[in-house]
Amino acid sequence: MNVEERGPGPRPIRSATLQQGSCLCGTIRYEIRGELGAIVLCHCAQCRKAQGSAFAANAPVRTADFAIVAGSGSLAAYESSPGKKRHFCRNCGAPIISTRDSAPEYVRVRVGTLDSSVHARPTAHIFTASKAGWYEIRDGLPQHTGLEPARRRGKD
Global pTM reads 0.85
Class of domain 2-152: mainly beta
**Per-residue model confidence as pLDDT tens for the chain (156 residues):** 676 665 554 444 344 589 999 999 999 999 999 999 999 999 999 999 999 999 999 999 999 999 999 999 999 999 999 999 999 999 999 999 999 999 999 999 999 999 999 999 999 999 999 999 999 999 999 999 999 887 766 554
All structural domains of the chain with their residue ranges:
2-152
Alpha-carbon span 106 to 73, nearest angstrom: 21
**Closest by Cα among 39, 27, 33 to 63:** 33
Alpha-carbon span 25 to 115, nearest angstrom: 13
